[in-house]
């Protein structure tokens, strides 16, 4: 990394596009310099805390969309368990776990892209009860909402909505043909106008170029999400990307992507999401120099590290886990 880039970042200057690419193209010998620069920003904005989130799947599979990486798409032959909205009792059990274990957030995923008003009314009731019972932060991944539906969820107490961009605008048609990148951006803007915090990030390893990674992060920069989950592809059985080549997802490259995310979205929560247990195994101390947020207990359709092991790992690396 050229020193001018490093000092510019630490002085709060926005990186030029070519500098962003230079971060991803940096030789591995320069990784330590990138990590140290990212660590300075991370400490400035997030201290030494790591937020640990738990993900519940409140509605699984049967999705009309054809996202190439997703086991919940109807077009995937993934054999996952599919179900409609789970009972409140089940959801509340996870909510209570978040509270008891002092985790930072309960993230709730619902498969699907559009929901009836009745479905949103029912789910709003869940959110209202969950907030009253646990007082924990709740984030929800819930497709495209109408403004009326978004307002109902806001009134019920939902804090944050996750809606990922996933990749760059120009690469998007390669991973999904049933909705557009523009629809995703419009949904996020509407949610921000309604007053939601936004969690929005992407997936690395879909076949995109480094230039696409930079473009996606530039789009995210213009959105200003509170949280930026970066997933590293876990090729799942039955999906279009089941046999994707992930050889380029070396730990060093994955760390460079996270460093770039920290440089470009310095004050946001940079979350290392799916793939943490695979691509960063044994390198978590470096990971936490950049990322301040992770999941425990697995991802929607992939297993992950248990809560106890995740908490132990955070402490062993010299960081503290936090309640938001």
| Tokens of residue 301, six digits | 């359709």
Q: Specify the residue, 37 or 55, whose C-beta has the smaller distance to ligand SF4.
A: 55
Q: Specify the residue, 203 or 311, whose C-beta has the smaller distance to ligand SF4.
A: 203
- Between CA 160 and CA 192 the distance in angstroms is 10
Check residue 233 for interaction with ligand SF4 (CB under 6 A).
Answer: no
42-71 residues in contact with ligand SF4 (CB under 6 A) are 63, 65, 67, 70
Q: How far is the CB of 308 from ligand SF4 (least distance, A)?
A: 29
* Given 57, 94, 111, 168, the residue binding ligand SF4 (CB under 6 A): 111
Q: Specify the residue, 31 or 175, whose C-beta has the smaller distance to ligand SF4.
A: 175
Q: Is the distance from CB of 319 to CB of 288 less than 8 angstroms?
A: yes
Q: Is the distance from CB of 191 to CB of 229 less than 8 angstroms?
A: no
Q: How far is the CB of 46 from ligand SF4 (least distance, A)?
A: 28
258-287 residues in contact with ligand SF4 (CB under 6 A) are none
**Degrees to nearest 5, angle at CA 51 with 314 and 8:** 95
Check residue 206 for interaction with ligand SF4 (CB under 6 A).
Answer: no
Q: How far is the CB of 122 from ligand SF4 (least distance, A)?
A: 18
Q: How far is the CB of 305 from ligand SF4 (least distance, A)?
A: 22
Q: Specify the residue, 48 or 302, whose C-beta has the smaller distance to ligand SF4.
A: 302
Q: Is the distance from CB of 166 to CB of 206 less than 8 angstroms?
A: yes
Q: How far is the CB of 93 from ligand SF4 (least distance, A)?
A: 23
Check residue 188 for interaction with ligand SF4 (CB under 6 A).
Answer: no
Check residue 113 for interaction with ligand SF4 (CB under 6 A).
Answer: yes
Check residue 200 for interaction with ligand SF4 (CB under 6 A).
Answer: no
Q: How far is the CB of 176 from ligand SF4 (least distance, A)?
A: 7
Q: Specify the residue, 165 or 313, whose C-beta has the smaller distance to ligand SF4.
A: 165
Virtual CA dihedral for 225, 191, 109, 139, nearest 10 degrees?
Answer: 60
- Total binding residues for ligand SF4 by CB under 6 A? 8
| Tokens of residue 68, six digits | 């190439």
| Whole-Å CA distances, 135 to 64, 105, 264, 272, 303 | 33, 10, 32, 25, 27
DSSP string, 38-98: HHHHHHHHHTTEEEEEEEEEEEBS-BS---TT-TTBTT-------BSSPPHHHHHHHHHHH
Alpha-helix residue ranges (DSSP H) falling in 147-248: 147-156, 172-175, 181-194, 210-223
Q: Is the distance from CB of 99 to CB of 135 less than 8 angstroms?
A: yes
Q: Specify the residue, 98 or 241, whose C-beta has the smaller distance to ligand SF4.
A: 241
Check residue 317 for interaction with ligand SF4 (CB under 6 A).
Answer: no
First to last CA, the chain: 34
Check residue 72 for interaction with ligand SF4 (CB under 6 A).
Answer: yes
Q: How far is the CB of 105 from ligand SF4 (least distance, A)?
A: 19
Q: How far is the CB of 131 from ligand SF4 (least distance, A)?
A: 24
Check residue 130 for interaction with ligand SF4 (CB under 6 A).
Answer: no
- Between CA 146 and CA 117 the distance in angstroms is 9
Q: How far is the CB of 199 from ligand SF4 (least distance, A)?
A: 14
User: What is the distance, to the nearest Å, from the Cα of residue 289 to the centroid of all Cα atoms in its chain?
Assistant: 17
Chain positions contacting ligand SF4, by CB under 6 A: 63, 65, 67, 70, 72-73, 111, 113
């Amino acid at each position: 990394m050229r020193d001018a880039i490093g000092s510019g970042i630490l002085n709060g200057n926005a990186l030029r596009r070519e500098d962003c690419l230079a971060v991803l193209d940096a030789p591995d010998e320069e990784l330590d310099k990138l990590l140290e620069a990212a660590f300075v920003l991370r400490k400035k904005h997030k201290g030494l805390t790591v937020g640990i989130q738990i993900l519940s799947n409140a509605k699984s599979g049967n999705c009309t969309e054809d996202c190439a990486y997703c086991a919940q798409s109807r077009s995937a032959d993934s054999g996952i368990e599919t179900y409609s909205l789970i009972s409140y009792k089940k959801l509340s059990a996870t909510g209570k776990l978040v509270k008891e274990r002092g985790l930072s957030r309960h993230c709730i995923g619902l498969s699907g892209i559009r929901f009836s008003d009745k479905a949103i009314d029912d789910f709003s009731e869940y959110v209202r009860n969950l907030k009253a019972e646990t007082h924990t932060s709740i984030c929800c991944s819930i497709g495209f909402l109408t403004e009326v539906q978004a307002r109902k969820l806001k009134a019920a107490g939902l804090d944050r909505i996750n809606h990922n961009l996933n990749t760059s605008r120009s690469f998007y048609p390669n991973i999904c043909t049933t909705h557009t990148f523009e629809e995703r951006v419009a949904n996020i803007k509407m949610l921000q106008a309604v007053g939601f915090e936004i969690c929005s990030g992407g997936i690395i390893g879909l076949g995109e170029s480094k230039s696409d990674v930079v473009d996606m992060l530039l789009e995210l920069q213009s959105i200003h999400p509170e949280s930026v989950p970066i997933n590293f592809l876990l090729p799942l059985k039955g999906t279009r990307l089941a046999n994707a080549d992930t050889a380029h997802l070396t730990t060093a490259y994955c760390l460079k992507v996270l460093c770039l995310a920290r440089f470009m979205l310095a004050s946001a929560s940079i979350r290392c999401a799916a793939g943490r247990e695979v691509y960063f195994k044994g390198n978590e101390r470096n990971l936490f120099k950049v990322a301040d947020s992770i999941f425990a207990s697995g991802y929607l359709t992939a297993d992950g590290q248990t809560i106890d092991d995740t908490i132990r790992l955070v402490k062993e690396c010299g960081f503290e886990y936090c309640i938001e």
